[in-house]
Amino acid sequence: APEVSPSKHLPSRNIRTYAGPSRSFLVALPVSGTDNPQSFDQDDIETHESYADLRSRWGVDNSEDDPRPFEDTVTLPRQLKRTASTSFVQQPSLPNGMMNDLKSITELRSKGESRRFLDEVGYLFEGLDGSSAIGLRRASALEVVNKLCEPDFHRRAKASDFYVRTWHKLLEARAGANDKIFDTTVAFFTSLAARDPNTLVELAQQPDFMSTLVEILGFADHKRDILASVLTSNDSELKSRGVLRTEIPPVCRFEPSARFFISLTLATLPRSSLETEHVVALLNTLRSELGLLEARIVAYASGLPLLPPISGTRTDVPSLHHVEACLRLMDSYLQQKWSTQHAEDDETIPPLSLDLVKDFTSELLSLSIVSEASMREASCYEDRNIARKCLCGALRILTLLSHDDESWCEAALNEDFALPFVTLTVVRSQTKWATINASAEDSSRSDDAMEAFDLLCLALGLLMNWATLNCKMTQFCRDKSIDPACSGARTCIRVCQCPDQQPILQCLSALYAQYLTASENDPPESNFLRGYLSVLLGLLIMDSPASRTMVLASLSGRSRSDKLGSLSGHCRSFLNLYIETTSLLAGSPRASPEIPFENDLRTNSWSKRGEDIARRVIASLEVLCDTS
């Protein structure tokens, strides 16, 4: 047998090793007192696998944590590092078993946290299985939305794929059936997702998102809204509707209504995500809510509250929040901002047919009356703000519908209270704007002035549409009267009943006369009002000698010709400003690339039509001035 060589003496220094004396960070070391070092080497070989073997056996390189192909960097000499560009260095992909690229610690931590989070909420997904009992599915869905109300849970849910996974589980649990509790929970879930635009857009891309919400909205009117039932019903009534006593407390925390949750979610979506095929269902739910307003107007005129809180004796109170969200959706639809990708090429969807022109116009005017009265009656800012938004939204819808459509103008003017109410809105808004603007010092008062001016412009725009398309408008302005100082008492909720009334045409002339004297310190809004009112009055007097006499009598000037010349000059100044503004807007970059090009063409046609109206008024006034 070969002679065993003596062991070499190690230097007398401390050597740091890992896992005790049998394993070293660098090499296998002989252990003091070992009679046969070769046996140690043999044992070391038998008990260890290489890192490459371990990676191959455990499939580390094939892990889903590392989906990207590995690219290593080539080590350059120190001299080349200073001069060579790394763009010229080839980065070869290394064979299986070699170390892959390291991700950032933030990315690894985020992925790990997301996985742990989804593991923690796995029991909720199990409860949403379609084969589970409806009680378990309800409880699991309620638990999901309750947890999403927690800020930390919501943050972790956004960081993971929780919202999308939950949506698919909710669809599976819903299974196409209309369960009141479950549908309400689904509506609340989507409204929670709407807090983050990116999350909502991701949800909107999922199949059946829009159709499911619209389907639930069709069953969630004020009579069948489960949240309203909780506020107005007793336990026996709730039991008959399929609501258990244990389910009442969590449902009571959902405010204000299931239909508002859905309309708010839809109104938050990008307009290109909305499909025109669903506008009929939206119109139906809006009209269902507007149908409650007439009874509230009658009750208010008799001395009862305008919009009392919902209770067991009052279930027919409309939700202005839901109405305002629906108005925003209708506004964008009428401006042709919705997607038509699922509509037929030659198919147009006419939800606003002539059969409902009269009824829908009356409902929008009723909304305007209720909203204007609520702005005066409301004691808190939130109630006043939602009422103002509803009033502005109703006027916008009426303006869009009556634009270049005589049937809508006629339907509105056939309502006895329409013209007096809109004119009073103009007078009140102008008074409020002028008062605030004259003394505005802080930003809050400036915001109030801006809101008043916006409302003033909307009401003037509606009057302009009526004057442009209806030949009876000028006669109505002479025959109908209002008191410019009307405070809006209960008896005046529809039509002004004050004793000191003046013809509407005279009120508009007096409003225009306030801006006849121009100065360099006038705000731009004053110049706009002077020009816009001059065009409106020009339309009303161009074909009516009686109206012309009434208007000119309210204006200052040495002669009839001077008054007409001043009116014509203001119209021309407004036309120049109008052309300059529309030219700047046409040459500016598109603010919203998602809006189709056809909408730009429609806007340009509207601008051209406004320019033609102003030119026609100027030409008529110049003829009248020459013949006077």
Please name the amino acid found at residue 397.
I
Q: How far apart are CA 542 and CA 623, in angstroms?
A: 10
Choose the weakest-confidence range: 113-122, 394-403, 438-447, 557-566. 438-447
- Assign residue 306 a region: left if phi > 0, alpha if psi is -120 to 50, beta otherwise? alpha
CB 183 within 8 A of CB 189: no
Please name the amino acid found at residue 214.
V
Q: List the chain domain ranges.
A: 1-62, 352-497, 512-628
Please name every residue paired with 564 in a beta bridge, in sequence order, or none if there are none. none
482 by DSSP, 3-state: which? strand
Torsion of CA 109, 110, 116, 117, to 10 degrees: 150
Cβ-based neighbours of 35, under 8 Å, separated by 6 or more: none
284 by DSSP, 3-state: which? helix
Please name every residue paired with 275 in a beta bridge, in sequence order, or none if there are none. 339
What is the per-residue pLDDT for 348?
A: 43
Q: How far apart are CA 22 and CA 31, in angstroms?
A: 8
Q: How far apart are CA 413 and CA 472, in angstroms?
A: 9
Q: How far apart are CA 547 and CA 505, in angstroms?
A: 8
311 by DSSP, 3-state: which? strand
What is the per-residue pLDDT for 366?
A: 97
Closest CA to 603 of 581, 619, 618: 581
Q: How far apart are CA 421 and CA 401, in angstroms?
A: 18
DSSP readout, 271-335? GGG-BGGGHHHHHHHHHHHHTTHHHHHHHHHTTS-SSPPPBTTB-----HHHHHHHHHHHHHHHT
Asked if residue 256 has a cis previous peptide bond (ω within 30° of 0), the answer is yes
Q: How far apart are CA 366 and CA 370, in angstroms?
A: 6
249 by DSSP, 3-state: which? helix
Instruction: For residues 285-312, give the mean pLDDT.
Output: 89
Other C-beta atoms lying within 10 Å of the C-beta of residue 192 = 20
Instruction: For residues 417-425, give the mean pLDDT.
Output: 97
Please name the amino acid found at residue 269.
L
Choose the weakest-confidence range: 27-41, 51-65, 218-232, 349-363. 27-41
Residue in the block written with tokens 């252990």: 31
What Cα–Cα distance (Å) separates residue 293 from each residue in 290, 368, 369? 6, 10, 9
What is the per-residue pLDDT for 158?
A: 85
What is the per-residue pLDDT for 352?
A: 58
Other C-beta atoms lying within 10 Å of the C-beta of residue 180 = 21
- Helices assigned H by DSSP within 440-472: 443-469
Q: How far apart are CA 595 and CA 97, in angstroms?
A: 52
- Assign residue 19 a region: left if phi > 0, alpha if psi is -120 to 50, beta otherwise? left
DSSP readout, 172-190? HHHTT---HHHHHHHHHHH
pLDDT above 80 for 565: yes
What is the per-residue pLDDT for 191?
A: 92
pTM: 0.77
Range from 154-158, 476-480, 592-596 that averages highest in pLDDT: 476-480
- Residue 61 burial (10 A CB sphere; 0-12, 13-18, 19+): middle
Start-to-end CA span in the chain (Å): 140
Encode pLDDT of 118-142 as tens digits: 777 888 888 888 888 888 899 999 9
What confidence tier does 343 reach under pLDDT thresholds 50, 70, 90? low
Closest CA to 72 of 89, 56, 93: 93
Of 348 and 160, which is predicted with more confidence?
160
What Cα–Cα distance (Å) separates residue 569 from each residue in 344, 463, 573, 627? 49, 21, 6, 17
Q: Could you give the percent of the chain with pLDDT greater than 70?
A: 71
Q: Find how far residue 54's CA is from the centre of its chain.
A: 54
What is the per-residue pLDDT for 11?
A: 52
Q: Could you give the percent of the chain with pLDDT greater than 90?
A: 44
Please name the amino acid found at residue 318.
P
Instruction: For residues 447-466, give the mean pLDDT.
Output: 95
Range from 183-187, 211-215, 323-327, 494-498 that averages highest in pLDDT: 323-327
